[in-house]
Amino acid sequence: MGGMSRTALIQVLGAVAYGELKAHEGLVAEAGETADEQERERLLTFAGQELRHHRGFVARLEAMGADPERAMRPYRRPLDTYHGRSSSDAIDEAVWAYLGEGVADDLLEWLRTVVDADTAAFIDTVIADEEQHEEHATDELRHLLDTEPDGRQRARRAARSMIAHMLASGAGPAGPRFAAFVQVGKPVELVLRITGGFARRLAAIGVAPVSVALP
């Protein structure tokens, strides 16, 4: 691997490692606010998995001779901003969780095709966990859409605001460090996976395509 793509891969692994840490923190916080015992247990199990993912990506960075703290640093502010928002509307929260888990899955599916065999094997174990998270987020959202008034219309608004928020916080494709993702390889596949994933997931919940102009 050449110098530029090694640097880019370190940046991408730094972004993913920090994203996993934010996912862990978010689930711990959510578990703390959950009254239902069974649901709380499930969230704490997921939180433990996210911590395992974080540590695994940190270990991969160390194996490459990189400094994990340094690799994560540029992503702290955008990801803290992105995860810092919250809504009192249950549909907003459920749509953001559903699409957020989905983007993470799509990103990992791309990442496993551009990394070394050891990292790919680790990512496969991460994807196995994330599939459960996505399934849980999907069930939650479907339940709300079936029971809340104007569910699908509100979900459509929530999807639009989530995408706008992702772009504005610098955590998405408009972010200052997105170039690193492109340099790692297969940029077209990456963009198609993410945009295609949004469209497919919105269609899956009966929400018409949401148009967002990518800068």
**Helices 151-169 & 117-147 angle (0-180, nearest 10):** 140
Q: Which of residues 8-37 bind Fe ion (CB under 5 A)?
A: 20
Binding mask 101-130 for Fe ion (x = CB under 5 A): -----------------------------x
Cβ closest to Fe ion, residue 33 vs residue 146: 33
Residue 23 CB, shortest distance to Fe ion, in Å, is 5
Q: Which of 83, 133, 156, 201 lies at the binding interface for Fe ion (CB under 5 A)?
A: 133
| CA–CA dist 92, 20 (Å, integer) | 21
Q: Which of 10, 17, 50, 180 lies at the binding interface for Fe ion (CB under 5 A)?
A: 50
Instruction: Say what the alpha-carbon torsion angle 57, 60, 64, 68 is, to the nearest 10 degrees.
Output: 30
Cβ closest to Fe ion, residue 53 vs residue 156: 53
Residue burial 129-148, b: 16+ Cβ < 10 Å; e: rest: bbeebbebbbebbbebbeee
**Residues in the chain, total:** 215
Q: Of 62, 54, 50, which Cα lies nearest the Cα of 97?
A: 50
How many residues bind Fe ion, per CB under 5 A?
Answer: 5
Q: Is residue 53 involved in binding Fe ion (CB under 5 A)?
A: yes
Contact residues for Fe ion (CB under 5 A)? 20, 50, 53, 130, 133
